[in-house]
Amino acid sequence: MTDGIILIDKPAEMTSFGVVARIRRVLTQAAQKKVKVGHTGTLDPFATGLMILVIGKECKNAEQYSKLDKVYEATFLLGQISTTGDPEGELTEVSNRQPTADEIEAALAKFKGPIMQRPPIFSAIKIDGKRAYKLARDGQEVEIPERQITVHSLDMIDYSYPNLRIRTHVSSGTYIRSLGVDIGAVLGTGAYCTTLRRLKIAQYTIADAQQLADFGISN
């Protein structure tokens, strides 16, 4: 393939840019010429799931794919917070209080519909041309303004303290890590995201995605 899209199931512990680079190398070798490959929205290294890669001439339409709604499943660990909102950050104990399932449902209800959300400082958002996470890692003060996103649905799949598993359908630009942090704040327990999997991007589903192994790529 030298033009079009490829659906990939990103494995954990690999960056989105790493996925792009590996697929580019395979396609370039197969075509015996340089093939342009881009992504339409990153997933954090710890996260897994659906990525839409744009190939060749389709790269010019990357922004159209990035604006599509997405569906995720995630696990939030209650009782602690993380500097990055995920397992890679420095953890701090907050509370050992165990909310009831009813309290969880009430907290989730506060985040349905159009809401304001502040993206995490450890993100790929650019500030004055530099990635926010690079500035944060350099010890610089990073302030990212809130922005409006839409949570179309947010459902509890399972709750066994301290683990809360949810499924959510959200608009483009939503950070699930931030959602977990904000839910933890409402509960008064703190929380951070321990697992994250993207299942759908609009009509594109994880069931139709290929594994890197299908391209002869090992993790």
In angstroms, rounded to a whole number, what is the distance separating the alpha carbons of residues 19 and 76? 25
Residue in this structure with the two tokens 């839910």, named with its chain if needed: 183
Residue 94, Cβ neighbours under 10 Å: how many?
Answer: 18
Tokens at residue 118, please?
């502040």
Q: Beta strands 91-93 and 113-117: pairing type? A: unpaired
In angstroms, rounded to a whole number, what is the distance separating the alpha carbons of residues 88 and 133? 13
In angstroms, rounded to a whole number, what is the distance separating the alpha carbons of residues 1 and 35? 9
Residues catalogued as catalytic: 44
Q: Which residues are within 8 A (CB) of 143 and not within 5 positions of it... i.e. 6 or more apart?
A: none
In angstroms, rounded to a whole number, what is the distance separating the alpha carbons of residues 142 and 16? 23
95 touches 112 (CB < 8 A): no
H/E stretch holding 53 reads strand 48-55
Length of the chain (residues):
219
8 touches 55 (CB < 8 A): no
